[in-house]
C-alpha cells in the first residue's frame, strides 16, 4: 500500500474513548498490503499485543482481504480497531453475497481453507449487508 493506515496517537496508545482506530485511505489490492497495514496498526498499540496475537491478526487480515479479492472482486475498505480486550478487522467489498464454507481442496487447486480459518481465528464474525453496495465483514479477536 502506498499510503499506510492512519491511527490517532496518544501517550497511552488509546483514544479518549478507550479505542484505537486505523482506517486505510486506499483499500489494499493484495493480501501483503493488508498484512503490512495490520502490522503497522499492531505496532502502535499500547500495551502491545503478544507476538502470537499479532501473527493471528496478520493472518486474519490477510485471509479476509484474499477472500474479498477472490470472491467479491475487490476490497472497498479496510480498517482496524482495538480496545482493552479485543482487536477488530473490518473489510468491505462490493459483493452482497455472503461467504460460503466449502470443502477444502487438499490438492491446492481451488482453496476452501480461508473462511474456516477466519472463523477459527476470530471469536466473532458478523456480516453487515450494504444492499447493492456490497457488504462489510467484521471479525473480532481476543487482544
Q: Model confidence at 12, in pLDDT bands (50, 70, 90)?
A: very low
Decide: 77 and 90 in contact? Cβ < 8 Å. yes
Measured between alpha carbons, how far is 73 from 81 in angstroms, rounded to an integer?
24
% of the chain surpassing 70 pLDDT: 79
pLDDT digits over 25-75, tens only? Answer: 789 999 999 999 999 999 999 999 999 999 999 999 999 999 999 999 999
Res 13 pLDDT > 50 = no
pTM for the model: 0.82
Res 134 pLDDT > 70 = yes
The H-or-E segment that residue 58 falls in is helix 51-67
Given CA atoms 29, 30, 33, 35 in this order, what sign does their dihedral have? positive
Measured between alpha carbons, how far is 76 from 73 in angstroms, rounded to an integer?
10
Cell of 27: 483499500
71: three-class secondary structure by DSSP: helix
Which of 19, 21, 20, 22 lies closest to 4 in space, CA to CA?
22
Higher model confidence: residue 106 or residue 94?
94
Amino acid at each position: 500500500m502506498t499510503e499506510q493506515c492512519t491511527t490517532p496517537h496518544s501517550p497511552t496508545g488509546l483514544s479518549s474513548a478507550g479505542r484505537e482506530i486505523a482506517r486505510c485511505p486506499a483499500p489494499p489490492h493484495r493480501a501483503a498490503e493488508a498484512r503490512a497495514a495490520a502490522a503497522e496498526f499492531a505496532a502502535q498499540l499500547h500495551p502491545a499485543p503478544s507476538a502470537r496475537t499479532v501473527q493471528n491478526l496478520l493472518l486474519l487480515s490477510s485471509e479476509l482481504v484474499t477472500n474479498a479479492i477472490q470472491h467479491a472482486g475487490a476490497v472497498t475498505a479496510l480498517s482496524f480497531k482495538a480496545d482493552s480486550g479485543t482487536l477488530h478487522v473490518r473489510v468491505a467489498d462490493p459483493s452482497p453475497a455472503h461467504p460460503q464454507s466449502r470443502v477444502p481442496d487438499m490438492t491446492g487447486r481451488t482453496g476452501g481453507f480461508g473462511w474456516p480459518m477466519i472463523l477459527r481465528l476470530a471469536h466473532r464474525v458478523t456480516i453487515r449487508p450494504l444492499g447493492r453496495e456490497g457488504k462489510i465483514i467484521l471479525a473480532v479477536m481476543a487482544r
